[in-house]
Amino acid sequence: MTERRMLPLLPHGSGHLAPPQAFPRRAKVAVGDTQLRANIRRATHTIRDKRAHVVDEVDDWEELREAGRALKERVARHLPELLERFEQAATAAGATVHWARDAAEANRIVTELVRATGSDEVVKVKSMVTQEIELNDALERAGITAYETDLAELIVQLDRGEQSHILVPAIHYNRTEIREIFRREMPDTDDALTSDPAVLAEAARRHLRRKFLSTKVAVSGANFAVADTGTLVVLESEGNGRMCLTLPETLISVVGIEKIVPTFADLEVFLQLLPRSSTAERMNPYTSTWTGVREGDGPQDVHIVLLDNGRSATLADTVGRQALACIRCSACLNVCPVYERTGGIAYGSVYPGPIGAIISPQLTGVERNKSLPYASSLCGACYDVCPVKINIPEVLVHLRQTGVDGARERPSAERTAMRTLAWVMSDQRRYENALRAARTATGPIAGLLAGKRTPPGGPAGTLGHLPWPLSAWTVSRDAPLPARQSFRDWWRKTHGEAR
Amino acid sequence: MSTAREEIMTRLAIALRDVPADETADQVPVARDYRHAGESDPARLLDLLDERVSDYRAAVHRCTLDDLGATVTRLLTERGSGTLLVPHDVPEDWHAGYTGTVYRDSANFPYPLATLDETDSVLTGCAVAIAETGTLVLDSGLTQGRRAITLVPDHHICVVESEQVAATVPEALARLDGTRPLTFISGPSATSDIEFNRVEGVHGPRHLDVILLP
Amino acid sequence: MRIGLFVTCVNDLMYPGTGQAVVTILERLGHTVEFPAAQTCCGQMHANSGYRAEALPLVRRFVDVFEGYEAVVAPSGSCVAMVRDSYPRLAEGDAALSARVAELAPRVYELSELLVDVLGVTELGAVFPHRVTYHTTCHGLRMLRLGDRPERLLRNVSGIDLVELPAADECCGFGGTFAVKNPDVSTAMLADKVRHVLDTDAEVLAAADNSCLAHISGGLGRLRTGVRSVHYAEILAATDGTLPPRTEPAPAAPTATPTD
């Protein structure tokens, strides 16, 4: 940690990564949204049970998790040489590899590549990284229309809304709402359109069919990039990915530099971990791999944009770098009690939930993203389900510490309180005096503050209302009061002065 | 001014100062004590594949090579398919008896997308199948053709021969060439995007028939 | 066995009955319990809120106070998890402290670990004829992997009607400073926990952490549910079927007169 401060400052990333207001403020709004709460609760509970079932069926799950974690550590520690190997292999196979330091540079590269084809539209495979860099907006400014083809991304795009989940960005809509969006925004629909998911999927199929068959340029991300072979891998369900990866003449893939896996054989681990953790299936319906250009089969003009955008800065933190192991399965979102109550939009980043709370602040720098590391009760459910064993609670606490350390010079009531408390706790006499003071002062103070010690009708030994900042507690809970006799006083009375 | 590539490489070198200079990637330990092999009895393997493919609501059919033409013809007839596309190297026996129009697609004479879009069904083989996950893997090799032909038509019939079946994902990948374009297919096109409920049938073939040969 | 009791600061001040219960149980089993008076706080709130520098002296203090004991017991899953899981990280960079932490941490037990794993007892002769439900607090469940140890102990209590808490493994929403930094989400989580507790028709909610219980019972109390929250140690210590009366706040404040 001290090591880290000595390092030259590495540039952070930019894009859709930080909430415009602090998380608690946005969460307050989300928590009060009845429909949102019902939609997220239903969806997360559905997938939670399915995931548990399909993971329980694998008796070597822990061994797979450990292998996945270790492979990602290997990649992190040797990223430069693996990236070079990937570039070499992909180039030899006919792809053109580009490098982008940040979001703006990646957007510029993609825009120029699309312009060079003469096309003013692209079809897109669902890709987190292009949402991170806000590529669609950049293309639009250049007069290029991007068509999202993943069903969930399509729903969000048609509604001009925001993504709220890594795997299913439209998880905050229910079928009725989706039906309304389709009816409103999709030509060729009529009132016969029902909210049956199969009917809605069929409508999406008809809506995008001609686009797939006629668009000359596709943009994708990648789940994995194989260093040895220069191969890119995309896992998907609907076939929109295959359409985009196979039919257009030009394919541009934006790939975060952390997506590398060393060898093709290493995919044997991730192709088992990812589908079961994300869609809770033994295998997702479609996985495509491609290596450069293959004559007569698929796009003949293949580009790969390797993106940093804060990833090297993340890598510099020896505790936080494990976040780069994330394979974007979203299992941690689905089990997170905080995410379940707020949904993803409250996080203000394309990466919401527990993993987002450690990825987003690291990509942007904690200074620009102070509230997200605190958007967790540290319950640890995320760590338990993570297929690559990212210790999310550990990194959350570490990032809180980074934020606290970074603000050492600025005065803060919290810091003063923490320091005072630590000072008191560091000495037996101070501690015992404080215990005594707390017990003797509580009564009168409580009496003054609340006019009464026990809320009328409330349990004995509790307080109904406390002033700010403790009002944050008593807004919904009674507060406990110190006991008449501390434990140590009881001990002295019954056992004498020990030690 | 340095290029983006040089600058990123410099950043990474700074970020990884804690990694000893003489450490190689292979020295970072990766325990591979997960399962590599699975069921080895061919008959039980085929049963497992049958069960797992069926779980995705794809239709599985068992027949011998002698009955293959009749089985394919029956499936095409049941679906009312008037046009069938096959890679040029699929033996004619595979669809013997079928009386609809057959397009033979090849690298030299590829059909345009518009034709694929109007074609009712496509018939191919595969490179490898994975029993435990119910997955077919196509690698554009023999009897499989280019990727587009198994994607655009709405009905895909895929023939799997017993010796192509691997038990596990690791076994399957060991049989594949990572530099070929690979398509892993596990059931028909599907989505979980509405309330996390899986429904079959979006952009890829909505109907998948898998024929298992002993 | 000479056992050091780490009562925890929260229990010392707010829930002395829990510490008393631990002493009662262990002495009844014939063990010597010592309470080193120099103990204060494990530093969990500081560490989890990002105040590492402030937490470190408390880490040192804990090690100073407890390293002489064969076994250390604490009636708190989260404080024990702090010592076993977080202390090694906090001590990083101080080789001497790291070594002492590595030596001590494995001997610091949550009560049910000490009873079941170290002392090999699950039957404590307790009597508690009440309907009880048990909430598995997060740090006990996922960091210490307590499993069903506390429930095994509770199941052997004579007369107890132990009912399963739905979604027992879900966080109650306390999370230390989370409860005040994110009060709305915390309350939303609390609402579900309260609902699940009420669904069991239990008279008593038990758990291994009084801090989580303070949060849940704060909600149960606010809603006047009449459900009492208690550390499971106090049930294990009960031999006459009753709990000690709820601890009254200490001093002589004007007696509350519910007039409004």
Say if the Cβ atoms of A498 and C174 lie within 8 Å. no
Contacts of B183 in chain A (CB under 8 A): 242, 286-289
Strand partners, A218: A123, A251
Nearest to A308 among B8, B152, B178 (CB): B8
- The pLDDT of C150-169, averaged and rounded, is 97
Contacts of A264 in chain B (CB under 8 A): 173, 176, 178
Neighbours of chain A (3+ CB pairs under 8 A): B, C
A with B: 3 or more CB pairs under 8 Å? yes
Collapsing DSSP states into helix, strand and coil, what is residue A421? helix
Q: Which of A428-442, C50-64, C145-159, C168-182 has the weakest average pLDDT?
A: A428-442
What is the secondary structure of B178-206 as a DSSP string? TTS-EEEE-SS-EEEEETTEEEE-SSS-S
ipTM beyond 0.90?
yes
**Strands B190-194, A224-226: parallel, antiparallel or unpaired by DSSP?**
unpaired
For A128-182, write each residue's pLDDT tens digit: 999 999 999 999 999 999 999 999 999 999 999 999 999 999 999 999 999 999 9
Report CA dihedral (C228, C234, C235, C240) to the nearest 10 degrees. Answer: -100
C259 pLDDT more than 60: no
The total of other beta-carbon atoms located within 10 Å of residue A467's CB is 9
For C28-64, write each residue's pLDDT tens digit: 999 999 999 999 999 999 999 999 999 999 999 999 9
pLDDT class for B201, splitting at 50, 70, 90? Answer: confident
Task: Please give the Cα distance from C53 to A426 (Å, whole number).
Answer: 13
Q: Taking the domain B38-213, which CATH number applies?
A: 3.40.50.10420
pLDDT computed for residue A472 by the predictor: 85
Contacts of A260 in chain B (CB under 8 A): none
Say if the Cβ atoms of A457 and C40 lie within 8 Å. no
Nearest to A100 among B4, B32, B147 (CB): B4
Collapsing DSSP states into helix, strand and coil, what is residue A195? coil
Which residue of chain A has the CA closest to B139?
A: A289
- The pLDDT of B17-32, averaged and rounded, is 97
pLDDT computed for residue A88 by the predictor: 98
The DSSP output letter for A325 is G
Say if the Cβ atoms of B183 and A287 lie within 8 Å. yes
* Fold matches, C2-118 and C131-237: yes
Closest among C70, C152, C143, C61 to C104, alpha carbons compared:
C70
Domain boundaries, chain C: 2-118, 131-237
Which residue of chain A has the CA closest to B148?
A: A246
For A439-493, write each residue's pLDDT tens digit: 876 655 555 444 444 555 667 778 888 777 778 888 889 988 899 899 999 999 9
Nearest to A151 among B30, B191, B196 (CB): B191
Domain boundaries, chain B: 38-213
For C108-143, write each residue's pLDDT tens digit: 999 999 999 999 999 999 999 999 999 999 999 999
Neighbours of chain C (3+ CB pairs under 8 A): A
Which residue of chain A has the CA closest to B189?
A: A238
pLDDT computed for residue C250 by the predictor: 47
Contacts of B201 in chain A (CB under 8 A): 198, 201-202, 205
C260 pLDDT more than 50: no
Give the length of chain B. 214
Q: Taking the domain C2-118, which CATH number applies?
A: 3.40.50
pLDDT computed for residue A126 by the predictor: 96
CATH for C131-237, options being 1.10.3470, 3.40.50, 2.40.30, 3.30.1330: 3.40.50
Chain A nearest CA to C68, separation (Å): 12
pLDDT computed for residue A447 by the predictor: 52
Interface size between A and C, measured as CB pairs under 8 A? 280
Contacts of B35 in chain A (CB under 8 A): 59-60, 63
Say if the Cβ atoms of B193 and A168 lie within 8 Å. yes
Say if the Cβ atoms of A490 and C16 lie within 8 Å. yes
pLDDT computed for residue A438 by the predictor: 85
Task: Please give the Cα distance from B11 to A86 (Å, whole number).
Answer: 18
Instruction: Note if the bond before A469 is cis, omega within 30 degrees.
Output: yes
Task: Write b or e for each residue in A444-459: b if 16 or more Cβ atoms lie within 10 A of its Cβ, otherwise e.
Answer: eebbeebebbbbeebb
Contacts of A67 in chain B (CB under 8 A): 30-32, 34
B 72-131: CB under 8 A from A: 107, 110, 113-114, 117, 130
Chain A nearest CA to B148, separation (Å): 6
Nearest to B170 among A167, A197, A268 (CB): A268
The mean pLDDT value of chain B amounts to 96
B with C: 3 or more CB pairs under 8 Å? no
Encode chain A (499 residues) as per-residue pLDDT tens digits.
Answer: 444 444 457 999 999 999 999 999 999 999 999 999 999 999 999 999 999 999 999 999 999 999 999 999 999 999 999 999 999 999 999 999 999 999 999 999 999 999 999 999 999 999 999 999 999 999 999 999 999 999 999 999 999 999 999 999 999 999 999 999 999 999 989 999 999 999 999 999 999 999 999 999 999 999 999 999 999 999 999 999 999 999 999 999 999 999 999 999 999 999 999 999 999 999 999 999 999 999 999 999 999 999 999 999 999 999 999 999 999 999 999 999 999 999 999 999 999 999 999 999 999 999 999 999 999 999 999 999 999 999 999 999 999 999 999 888 888 889 999 999 999 999 999 999 999 888 876 655 555 444 444 555 667 778 888 777 778 888 889 988 899 899 999 999 999 875 5
The total of other beta-carbon atoms located within 10 Å of residue C120's CB is 7
